[in-house]
Amino acid sequence: MALEDELCDVEVRNCRTPVYTWEHTCDTCGGSGTVVSYTGSRKKARRRLATCLACSGLGVVRSASARFIPDPNG
């Protein structure tokens, strides 16, 4: 990669460096798309499944960066 691209700031300039997007497993629900929530009082807590808000039930979340390519295992 050219030094110009490394120093280019996409916020203020039109860079040749592409913006990388990737999807990774949602940390909140672990990829299932649902989370367990408890309703009711402490003594009579009821366990139910709710759609994960972090990923909208998709199980994956999308991220974008122009600065680095993330480690898929990270």
For Zn ion, the binding residues (CB under 5 A) are 26, 28-29, 52, 54-55
Residues in a beta bridge with 63:
22
- For residue 64, the minimal CB distance to Zn ion (Å) is 18
* Residue whose CB is less far from Zn ion, 16 or 38: 38
Q: How far is the CB of 6 from Zn ion (least distance, A)?
A: 34
Contact 8, 57 (CB under 8 A): no
Give the burial class of 29: count Cβ atoms within 10 A of its Cβ; 0-12 exposed, 13-18 middle, 19 or more buried: buried
Q: Which is nearer to Zn ion, 24 or 66 (CB)?
A: 24
Residue 17 vs 24, nearer CB to Zn ion? 24
